[in-house]
C-alpha cells in the first residue's frame, strides 16, 4: 500500500513539473533569441575624460539630456547645485547646450 502511494505521488509530482511554466532561473539573458550581438572591443571602450578640463574622469551626468561629460570639480563650478541635485542658477549642458534641470554623480562599477 505504501509503495503505491509513493508511486502515485512521484507520478503526480512529475506531471505537475511538466505542466508548470519554466522557472525564471532557467530563462537567462544569454539564451534569448532577440538578444543583440556583442559589441566590439573598440565599441565597448568609451573615453570618459571630463569635457571641461580634460584632466579628470567624467562622473557627473546632467538631466534631462543625460550627458555625462564633467568631473565633480568642474561640475561644482559649471553647474553648482542646491538641495542636492537642483542647479543653483540657470545652466546649460556643456555638450548639447540644453537647460540643466538636475545633476547626478554616476558610480561606475
Q: Render 15-41 in DSSP notation, one character per residue.
A: HHHHHSPPPTTTS-GGG-TTPPPPPPH
What is the number of domains present in the chain?
Answer: 1
Mean pLDDT of 5-34: 72
Residue 55 lies in a domain: yes
- The CATH number of whichever domain residue 86 belongs to comes to 3.30.40.10
Inside any domain, residue 16: no
Predicted confidence (pLDDT) per residue in 49-104, tens digit: 999 999 999 999 999 999 999 999 999 999 999 888 999 999 999 999 999 999 99
DSSP code at position 92: B
Containing structural domain, residue 52: 44-105
Residue 9 maps to a domain: no
Is 84 among the domain residues?
A: yes
**Residue 39 lies inside a defined structural domain of this protein:** no
pTM (predicted TM-score): 0.63
Kindly state whether residue 37 falls inside one of the protein's structural domains.
Answer: no
Task: Give me the mean pLDDT over the 24-44 stretch.
Answer: 79
Closest Cα to residue 91, out of 57, 71, 50, 63?
63
Statement: residue 37 has pLDDT above 60: yes
Amino acid at each position: 500500500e505504501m509503495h503505491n502511494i509513493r508511486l502515485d505521488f512521484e507520478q503526480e509530482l512529475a506531471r505537475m513539473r511538466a505542466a508548470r511554466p519554466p522557472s525564471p532561473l532557467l530563462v537567462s539573458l544569454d539564451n534569448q533569441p532577440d538578444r543583440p550581438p556583442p559589441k566590439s572591443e573598440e565599441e565597448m571602450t568609451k573615453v570618459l575624460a571630463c569635457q571641461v578640463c580634460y584632466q579628470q574622469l567624467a562622473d557627473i551626468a546632467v538631466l534631462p539630456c543625460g550627458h555625462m561629460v564633467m568631473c565633480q570639480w568642474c561640475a561644482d563650478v559649471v553647474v553648482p547645485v542646491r538641495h542636492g541635485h537642483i542647479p543653483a542658477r540657470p545652466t546649460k549642458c556643456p555638450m548639447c547646450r540644453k537647460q540643466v534641470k538636475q545633476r547626478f554623480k554616476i558610480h561606475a562599477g
